[in-house]
């Protein structure tokens, strides 16, 4: 029932990457993204039999404990990657896949299947929180391996957060454990189970692969605080500096991080290395698709200027913003036929001007001032205190 992790002509069944269990589950997430972006229910229905078989493959491997037993991966730096167990990361991916499958079922009129997937997701979340939570550590165990409950891991916290496992009352503790440890030295790239996995768990190994920062940056931006915004920018600079400046063989981005000598790239042209590109456009330029609409929501951190064009489902959106003497100046164009939600953190709403006029429909949401902007060119001027640092890099 699983989809292969690679093209059949690329690697044979004996290769550990021929099937990657969490990649198979991420296919469900991708199908939801496609449906949300396109509204193409015909394609979703065409893929539905594939989804059903794949979800059943995983449902058949839920243990009497109520957890999925499958092979961990997430990436090479996960201390228990390549081990078949009741792991926290694979269960988090499974939980998200169940929720996404239920959502898709509703969209195409499969009410009974939606209810079944929702019930399974509820049961899985309950089992994860009852069995994987470590009260002393205030964090989630990496999982059960041969019946043994393992210590927490950075990967377990991150994927529990991303996969929707963490209830509100544990959110702060889980985030705090992750933030304390994710910058620790991570495991080296090893294809296969690591013999030193216990030492890595005991040492609270951090994130060591570029791909992991897709989920890390997602979680930092979900926190929606100035400190988390700054951490995302600072980690982009720190972790990608040598890759950009020193990797000269292909002039592209690599599978692994590059050290201060320009070494360690593994595959020199690899999608893993491109992770910051999405966040630079979506959160630094601040243009993204969210909840079926266009959202303008730059997070400056210590930058004082950004310029670029972001491609969206509605068309390209040119953006230029700068902060000059405490005034945030944003100039962008909303595509024809739609409106956009403008969400600005850390600004003085009383000073807000839209195309030279004070808007009347301004509201607040958390630290953000929010309003709707019409299609066409838009010039925003507003006082802010958030960016006091350096020009864009």
Could you say which of 189, 209, 229 is where a domain stops? Answer: 209
The verdict on residue 274 lying in a domain is: no
Report residue 208 as tokens.
Answer: 């060591």
Could you say which of 209, 236, 255 is where a domain stops? Answer: 209
At 86 the three-state DSSP class reads: strand
Report residue 254 as tokens.
Answer: 């690599």
Q: What is the pLDDT along the chain (393 residues), one digit of tens a residue?
A: 788 877 666 677 778 888 899 999 999 999 999 999 999 999 999 999 999 999 999 999 999 999 999 999 999 999 999 999 999 999 999 999 999 999 999 999 999 999 999 999 999 999 999 999 999 999 999 999 999 999 999 999 999 999 999 999 999 999 999 999 999 999 888 888 999 999 999 999 999 999 999 999 999 999 999 999 999 999 999 999 999 998 877 778 999 999 999 888 888 888 899 999 999 999 999 999 998 899 999 999 999 999 999 999 999 999 999 999 999 999 999 999 999 999 999 999 999 999 999 999 999 999 999 999 999 999 999 999 886 544 443
The verdict on residue 235 lying in a domain is: no
Q: Give the torsion sign (CA, 45, 119, 63, 200).
A: positive
Cα angle value 48/51/56 (rounded, 5°): 130
Q: Is the pTM of this model over 0.85?
A: yes
Q: Supply the angle between the helices 88-107 and 154-162 in degrees, to the nearest 10.
A: 10
The verdict on residue 190 lying in a domain is: yes
The verdict on residue 128 lying in a domain is: yes
CATH number of the domain to which 85 belongs: 1.50.10.10
How many structural domains comprise the chain? 2
Report residue 338 as tokens.
Answer: 């739609």
Domain that holds residue 369: 293-383
Phi, psi of 366, rounded to the nearest 5 degrees: 65, -125
Could you say which of 209, 237, 263 is where a domain stops? Answer: 209
Domain shared by 193 and 322, yes or no: no
The verdict on residue 77 lying in a domain is: yes
Domain shared by 87 and 192, yes or no: yes
Which residue, chain included where needed, has tokens 């350096």? Answer: 390
**Are the C-beta atoms of residues 91 and 69 closer than 8 Å to each other?**
no
Domain shared by 199 and 347, yes or no: no
Domain shared by 44 and 136, yes or no: yes
Domain shared by 332 and 195, yes or no: no
Which residue, chain included where needed, has tokens 């953000």? Answer: 368
CA distance 267 to 253: 9
């Amino acid at each position: 029932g699983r989809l292969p992790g690679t093209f059949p002509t690329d690697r044979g069944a004996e290769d550990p990457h021929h099937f990657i269990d969490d990649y198979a589950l991420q296919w469900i997430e991708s199908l939801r993204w496609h449906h949300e972006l396109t509204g193409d229910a015909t394609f979703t229905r065409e893929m539905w039999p594939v989804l059903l078989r794949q979800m059943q493959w995983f449902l058949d491997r839920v243990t009497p404990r109520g957890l999925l037993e499958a092979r961990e991966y997430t990436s090479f730096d996960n201390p228990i990657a390549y081990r078949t167990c009741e792991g926290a990361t694979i269960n988090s991916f499974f939980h998200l896949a169940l929720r996404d499958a239920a959502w898709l079922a509703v969209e195409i009129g499969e009410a009974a299947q939606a209810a079944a997937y929702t019930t399974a997701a509820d049961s899985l979340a309950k089992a994860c929180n009852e069995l994987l939570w470590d009260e002393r550590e205030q964090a989630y165990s990496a999982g059960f391996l041969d019946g043994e409950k393992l210590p927490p891991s950075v990967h377990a916290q991150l994927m529990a957060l991303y996969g929707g496992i963490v209830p509100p009352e544990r959110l702060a503790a889980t985030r705090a454990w992750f933030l304390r440890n994710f910058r620790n030295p991570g495991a080296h790239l090893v294809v296969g189970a690591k013999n030193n996995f216990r030492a890595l768990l005991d040492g609270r190994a951090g994130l060591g692969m570029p791909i992991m920062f897709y989920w890390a940056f997602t979680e930092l931006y979900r926190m929606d605080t100035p400190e988390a915004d700054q951490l995302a920018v600072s980690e982009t600079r720190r972790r990608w500096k040598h890759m950009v400046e020193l990797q000269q063989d292909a002039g592209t981005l690599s599978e692994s991080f590059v050290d201060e000598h320009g070494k360690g790239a593994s595959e020199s042209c690899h999608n893993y290395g491109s992770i910051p590109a999405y966040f630079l456009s979506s959160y630094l330029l601040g243009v993204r698709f969210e909840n079926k609409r266009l959202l303008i929501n730059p997070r400056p951190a210590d930058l004082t200027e950004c310029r670029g064009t972001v491609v969206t489902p509605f068309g390209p959106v040119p953006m230029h913003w700068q902060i000059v003497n405490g005034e945030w100046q944003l100039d962008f164009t909303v595509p024809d036929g739609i409106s956009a939600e403008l969400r600005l953190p850390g600004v003085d709403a009383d000073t807000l001007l839209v195309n030279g006029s004070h808007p009347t429909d301004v509201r607040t949401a958390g630290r953000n001032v929010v309003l709707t902007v019409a299609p066409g060119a838009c010039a925003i001027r507003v006082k802010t205190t958030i960016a006091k640092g350096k020009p864009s890099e």
